[in-house]
Amino acid sequence: MSQINLHEIIQQQQEQLAAMQAQIQALLVAGGAGAGGTGGTTTGMHMKVAKPAIFNREAEKVGGFISACKLYIRMKLRGESVEGQVQWILSYVQGGSADVWKENVMEELESGQMEYEIAEEFLMTLKKEFSGGEEESVKAAELRKMEQGGRTMEEFIQEFKRAARGSGYEGRPLMEEFKRGMNGRIRRKLMEVENPLTSIEQWYKRATALDRNWRESKK
């Protein structure tokens, strides 16, 4: 495909995206002007949802960009085609070598070389392209430094789960990191149980129960 044709395709895609965004804005305005609610199926159209920040291929930002895109699509673009959702995502990929990647993707989409059943598949492709393994190493390092401290076990577990996702840790190594990070008094109690804990979910459940009991006894 010639450079001229490629730029024509990009321009057409951008025009289509602008038209789609105008339609969405019109629906939002119309929804706000109506009296009362319109039912559970259209609730998302009346809610304010933050749009993702421009993504310029920085590995440490790919996770947040993907989460923001998923939320916005779920709340605002559920009625759009997968192609329209992917084009919307691409409109927020800008800057430097990210533009080159975007042009290649748009060319492949136009020629039919690349198809997605759901937008989440495209987001996984984007993640593989830009994370470069750095996200996993960052998450792993964060997981290894986590400690419960003064937090409740419920709070610690939620933070631990967040760091564990995408860290590469699972099974026994994941349980060891959780055991290391919890407060010593809870860890000692769990190490004394008759039946050894064999899954991370068991560790979560027993640790939460012990932490609650300890806090209740301090009242």
Task: From 14, 116, 98, select the one nearest 53 (Cα to Cα).
Answer: 98
- State what percent of residues in the chain have pLDDT above 90: 39
Tokens 């789960």 locate to 161
Here the contacts of 180-188 (C-beta below 8 Å, separation 24 or greater) are: 181/146, 181/147, 181/148, 181/156, 182/148, 182/153, 182/156, 182/207, 183/148, 183/149, 183/211, 185/214, 186/148, 186/153, 186/210, 186/211, 186/214
Most confident of the ranges 30-39, 75-84, 134-143: 75-84
Q: How confident is the model at residue 42 (pLDDT cuts 50, 70, 90)?
A: very low
Lowest mean pLDDT among 12-26, 142-156, 163-177, 197-211: 12-26
Domains in the chain (CATH in brackets) are 3-35+42-131 (no CATH), 135-217 (1.10.1200)
Q: How confident is the model at residue 36 (pLDDT cuts 50, 70, 90)?
A: very low
CB 197 within 8 A of CB 206: yes
Write out pLDDT tens, residues 75-99.
999 899 999 999 999 999 998 778 8
pLDDT of 135 strictly over 50: yes
pTM over 0.85: no
Say what the pLDDT of residue 54 is.
93
